[in-house]
Amino acid sequence: MKTILNSFAEAVEDIQDGATIMVGGFGLVGIPENLILALTMKGVKDLTVISNNCGVDDWGLGLLLKNKQIKKMIASYVGENKEFERQVLSGELQVELLPQGTLAEKIRAGGAGIPAFYTPAGVGTPIAEGREIRRFNGKPYLLEEALTADFSLVRAYRADSLGNLVYNKTARNFNPIMAAAGKITIVEVEELVANGELDPEVIQTPGVYVQKLIISAQQKRIERLTVHD
C-alpha cells in the first residue's frame, strides 16, 4: 500500500530549497496543479525544474516563476509566458532549452537507468558546441546525458492504493516517464479505486514507481481558448 495523504502541504513537505523536481504536463494539460499551488504556498526556493514548459503567467509553473522560486528551468518550450521571457533577459533565471524529443528521451533514459544516449537532434547547431559527437553508420550523433530528479510531481486520472496509475488521454504526455525518473514520486490523482479494479492491460505506470498519492479535484484551465460562431 502507498501513502495516501490528506493535504497538499503534507505532500510537498519534504521538498526543500535547492531541490530538483520534474513536473508532468504539456501546456496546462495534465499538470499536477494542486501540488504546484502547495509548492507556491510553501515558498521553497532555488528549484531546478524539469518540465516541457513553464505554464502561463497566472497558472501552473508560472506561479512558481512569478514568486521567483525557480533558479533553473530545463524545458523544450517557453513561448506562453511573458514573465519567463523577462527573467531570462534580466539574467534572473537560468534556462536549458532542449529539443522536445531529446527532453523526453533524457527523462525516459533516467527512469530506465540508462546514463546517456546518442541522438542526431542538435548536430550542426549551437546545441552541439563543445559536446561529444560520434559517428554511427557514417552519420553524426550527439551525446546526451539522462535526467533524474529528487522529486517527480505527477498527475493521474485513476489510481489504486498500490500506486498503479492510469492517465486521461493527452494528460498522459510527460507524466509516465517522469513518474519513473524521480527518486520520490508524488501523484495527484482524480479518483482512487479499489485494488484489482484497474485492468492490468490499461495500467500505464506500475505502482513500483510511486511513493505518495493524494486525491483531488482540479480546475483544468484552458491554456488558449479559441471560439467561433
- pLDDT surpassing 80 at residue 198: yes
Query: For residue 127, what pLDDT is reported?
Result: 87
CA dist., res. 151 & res. 21, Å (int): 5
pTM of the entire predicted model:
0.93
**Secondary structure in 3-state letters for the chain:** CCEEECCHHHHCCCCCCCCEEEECCECCECCCHHHHHHHHHHCCCCEEEECCCCCECCECHHHHHHCCCEEEEEECCCCCCHHHHHHHHHCCCEEEECCHHHHHHHHHHHHHCCCEEEECCCCCCHHHCCCCEEEECCEEEEEEECCCEEEEEEEEEEEECCCCEECCHHHHCCHHHHHHHEEEEEEEEEEEECCCCCCHHHCCECHHHCCEEEECCCCCCCCCCCCCC
Where does the pLDDT of residue 217 fall: very low under 50, low under 70, confident under 90, or very high at 90 and above? confident
CA dist., res. 75 & res. 100, Å (int): 8
CA dist., res. 122 & res. 126, Å (int): 8
The whole-chain average pLDDT of the chain stands at 94
Query: For residue 228, what pLDDT is reported?
Result: 74
Partner residues linked to 219 by β-bridges: none
Least confidently predicted of 15-24, 82-91, 116-125, 167-176: 82-91
CA dihedral 204→105→32→45, nearest 10 degrees, is: 150
Higher-pLDDT residue of 199, 217: 199
Query: For residue 222, what pLDDT is reported?
Result: 72
CA dist., res. 181 & res. 115, Å (int): 12
Provide the percentage of residues in the chain whose pLDDT is more than 70: 98
Q: Which domains does the chain have, with CATH numbers?
A: 3-115+146-215 (3.40.1080.10)
Give the chain's length. 229
Strands 212-215 and 182-193: parallel
Partner residues linked to 155 by β-bridges: 188
- pLDDT surpassing 80 at residue 166: yes
CB 188, CB 158: distance < 8 Å: no
Where does the pLDDT of residue 81 fall: very low under 50, low under 70, confident under 90, or very high at 90 and above? confident
- pLDDT surpassing 90 at residue 219: no
CA dihedral 69→63→109→205, nearest 10 degrees, is: 130
Task: Give the mean pLDDT of 46-50.
Answer: 98
- Give me the residue label for grid cell 546545441: 127
- pLDDT surpassing 80 at residue 223: no
Task: Give the mean pLDDT of 178-183.
Answer: 98
